[in-house]
Amino acid sequence: MTAIPYLLKELNIKHIFICGISEHLLLDTNANILNSIDKNYRANTITCANPAYANGRYFGKSGVAIMWHKDLDNLVEIVDTYSDRIAAIRPGGNIFQRIMTIFKLS
């Protein structure tokens, strides 16, 4: 999550309206950080369901999020994927179109 200053800069400089993120350190304890980095962006965050514990810390195995500009709020519907590795939104209520970000282990 140390790339947040860079992410915020890119979102604003390049006028990005939708951004997908995969981050293995995205845990329940820091999931809301993406909703608080900029008042103009919202996020649908899916955290790791079973983080590992080692050396007094939890480590996520997956975590995904989709961020969108607040101007799209009335067009974005969050889709429940029933997975801790997939975040999805449906823009404009079109049931045939979805935007997803997926965490895939290599």
Q: What is the pLDDT of residue 56?
A: 76
φ, ψ for residue 67, nearest 5 deg = -110, 145
Range of the domain at 46: 4-102
For 55-80, write each residue's pLDDT tens digit.
777 666 678 888 899 998 888 888 88
Of 103, 69, 71, 70, which is closest to residue 88 (Cα–Cα)?
A: 103
93 Cβ partners below 8 Å, 6+ apart? 75, 77
> Which pLDDT band holds residue 102 (cuts at 50, 70, 90)?
low
Q: Which range has highest mean pLDDT (6-10, 20-24, 58-62)? A: 6-10
The answer to whether 30 and 37 are in contact (CB under 8 A) is no
For the entire predicted model, the pTM comes to 0.77
State how many domains the chain has: 1
* Secondary element (H or E) of residue 57: strand 57-59
How many CA atoms, within 13 angstroms, populate the side-chain half-sphere of residue 64?
Answer: 19
